Homo-oligomer: A and B are copies of this chain.
Amino acid sequence: MELSQRQETIIEIVKNQGPITGEQIAEQLNLTRATLRPDLSILTMAGLIEARPRVGYFYSGKTVDRVLADKITRIKVGDVKSVPIVVSEKCTVYDAVVTMFIEDVGTLYVVRDGGLLEGVVSRKDLLKTTLGGHDIHKLPVGVIMTRMPNVHVTLENDSVWLAACKLLTHEVDSLPVVKEVPKGKGKDFEVIGRFSKTNLTRIFVELGEGS
């Protein structure tokens, strides 16, 4: 956001003298309260200053970057997740590749009864296998997949920011979105969605539209 000179000045005044009323700010700038109103409401809406009734304006301590960061970390994985594409552990490598093309996804999640996560298989895993001279019409994906507990997952209630951090850190293109299901002393993960770099790209485009 490009702040006007006057808006920058208002932030300075509020930062140094807040809490301060609109009247007092107007006085210092030799302007009427009415003239200032649009600036004050823009700065308040942008989260750069805050208004408290009968007290006045005070500085929120948030920079523009901070406001942005707040917004990004408030978007939840559950708000943007896609439908997961799943196969069983016994599915052959050949059928997995076909499923990947038909569903047009980069990662398949391997599940057992009840949609419980067993592993994931990526384009890279499949490419390596097709290259290896295996009989891909017989080899089951269970043999080549990355198996739990080595699969990185995300929860519906995680922020997309946290999910993006996981994508980068673990160098994967997608994360299964899961719900925890108690099992004895441990837990299982039911697959309820898919979160990929494509979802992130979509969010990015929407944020840039200012929508």
Contact = CB atoms under 8 A, between A and B. Distances in A.
- In the assembly, how many copies of this chain are there? 2
Interface of A is mostly: helix
Interface in A193-211: 197-198, 200-205, 207-211
Given A46-B64, A46-B67, A208 B130 contact: no
> Which of A62, A197, A202 counts the most chain B CB atoms within 10 A?
A197
A91 interface: no
A130 to B, nearest CB: 4
B72 A208 contact: yes
A17 interface: no
Interface stretch (A145-153, A163-171, A182-190): A163-171
Interface in A125-139: 126-128, 130-131, 136
13 contacts: A1-B210, A45-B63, A46-B64, A48-B210, A65-B211, A72-B207, A72-B208, A126-B127, A164-B204, A168-B205, A200-B204, A203-B204, A204-B204
